[in-house]
Amino acid sequence: MSLAYGKRLGPYEIISTLGAGGMGEVYRARDAKLNRDVAIKVLLPAVANDPDRLARFSREAQVLASLNHPNIAHIHGLEESSGLTALVMELVDGEDLAQRISRGPIPLDEALPIARQIAEALEAAHDHAIIHRDLKPANIKVRPDGTVKVLDFGLAKAIGQGSGIGDQGSVNAATSPTLSIHATQAGIILGTAAYMSPEQARGKFVDKRTDIWALGCVLFEMLTGRRAFAGDDATDTIVAVISKDPDWSELPSSTPVTLRKLLRRCLEKDPKRRLDSAAAIRIEIDEAIVTPSVDMPATRPSSTSNWPRLLPWAITIATVIGAAALLWRGQQSQALTPIYASLGVPPDTVLGEDDFLASLPTRTPMVFTPDGKSLIIQAARAGKPQLFIRSLDRPDARLIAGTDNARVPFVSPDGKWVGFWAAHELKKVPIEGGTATTITPLVAALGPFGATWGPNDVIVFGDQASGGLMRISASGGTPVPITTVPSFLSLRQHVSPFFLPDGERVLFSDVHLGDATQSRIMIQRLSGGDAKEVVASASDGRFVP
């Protein structure tokens, strides 16, 4: 039933009609108690008159009301009056994204901030175990000040209540509080066809990855002015969603490589291959915002005075990117495209160290775990370094307990232990955190110049005191030298040891502290003999399979 102007629902007075949705009609109303305008959505009788569905909807509405985020339209509560049940929501002024797109493609510098705010809204919802399931331009409003508000979590459902892809069974129409769009014998299809994920279009259970797909569709449409998947009717559109790819040539030529890659990962038809984190999308969009060129990131001039301090970081970053690129090449047969990513450190920390130790050789503040899926990161908070583990498929890093004042991280070949230097001792701790075990005390005040853990449970480190490489059992003992330098006056230091796969040979850098052109990359056998030169005028070598 339609509500006339002046009709009252409790303290709310109807002002005008705003539209209709899958759950009922929407009105602009005045809140007499708080003297503000709100949006009132009167629920359809199919929901309001079914005690079980209404009770479940009420529970989910309580969860949705907990979403206190600037990019999500707030739910104020439920109101029952005159036999009607209504959802009271924040009233958002401004045009919706569908109206904006109808005027043509949105420029990149305008579209990216919008997409970023949508990702932030989804991130907040997913953190509360809520999925939207009907994200589309019509459910996204852009206020005059540029603030984005995601509306109508009417199809949202608390994750964990039978919504996981791994769950078996079919959707129960009798208990779904938001059924109203399409139905088939095989299952209930919730959402809008052009923005459904393939699993959603098939009537299967969905999780937060269905929102990732929808955001990819919305971003594609913002940039091109065209839907990623379209058809003459809903059936044709669903066929396109399930079996076709977007026309990638529609993207503007100015679209950065990072953004093209992001769109493809959002629109993977197999949810197992799709991005599963709104936070990851936000980070990629941040990267695209600061990457003005399609092919290469911008090059910024650096201060000459900062170059000696920046050089070790440049070497570290180049090493990590190079290793990752080669590993990726080994797993993929198709042509590669560059990947630019930003990995943030934990809040209130700085990467590595903020004192003179950061300028010492091989103070690499991060190292991959052997499986290549995580980074061990050294980050300092209030001058105290600690170790964190950051899985590459997650937006956050976790503190490894027992690593206070830890420096020079390295990882055991089985990925179960993290070694480090702290309090003038070489130590190890389980990668999940715990009580650190001392491997050996180190007399040198500045600690090792790099360390590596071999497959035979042997650790090799660069000894600052002697200048050479030392070996020791991971279970403890007395360090034994495996290389020596001629003398202190030679200005040579053996640093950055790195075990080769055979566990017998170690790659390392013979660094000349006075003339970098005299540095070289060497190989030394644990069993003895002379070291062999691999590359002249070079340092910081790493073996990549």
List C-alpha distances in Å: 502 to 176, 454, 526.
Answer: 58, 9, 11
The whole-angstrom separation of Cα 418 and Cα 432 is 9
150 contacts 167 by C-beta, under 8 angstroms: no
First to last CA, the chain: 69
Q: Among this protein's residues, is 134 annotated catalytic?
A: yes
DSSP 8-state assignment for residue 29: E
Q: Which residues pair with 407 in a beta bridge?
A: 421
Extended strands (E) in 111-159: 130-131, 140-142, 148-150, 157-158
CA angle 331, 334, 335 (to 5 degrees): 115
Find, among 498, 464, 469, the residue nearest to 484 by Cα. Answer: 469
Pair 153, 130: CB distance under 8 Å: yes
10 Å CB burial of residue 166 (0-12, 13-18, 19+) is exposed
Helix, strand, or coil (residue 25): strand
Catalytic residue among 134, 152, 207, 510: 134
Q: Helix %, strand %, coil % for the chain, to 5?
A: 25, 25, 45
Q: Which residue has the tokens 């705003």?
A: 18
Report d(CA 375, CA 206) in Å as an integer: 30
Helix extents (H) in 128-275: 198-201, 209-224, 234-243, 257-266
Check if the beta carbon of residue 177 is closer than 8 Å to that of residue 47. yes
| Residue positions annotated with a catalytic role | 134
